[in-house]
Amino acid sequence: MVLGVVQEVRAERAVMALSTMSVPTAGDVRDGEERSLPAAGVMPGDLAW
């Protein structure tokens, strides 16, 4: 039983670490300048690909 709890806690930590590493990015043109940024940072009026 204790071993199962330890494994579950480790698995949850691993999933959380992977989810923070896989932030979606977007190519973006803002003010005529191309850049790559987190998808959450795309603003209305930006050109994204």
pTM of the model: 0.44
What pLDDT is attached to residue 11?
A: 95
pLDDT in tens, 1-49: 788 999 999 999 999 888 877 778 888 888 888 888 888 888 888 887 7
Q: Residue 37 has what DSSP assignment?
A: E
End-to-end Cα spacing for the chain: 49
Given the structure tokens 């977007």, which residue do they identify?
26
Whole-angstrom distance, CA of residue 8 vs CA of residue 14: 10
What DSSP line would sit under 8-49, residue for residue? Answer: HHHHHHHHHHHHHH---EEEEEETTEEEEEEGGG--TT-EE-
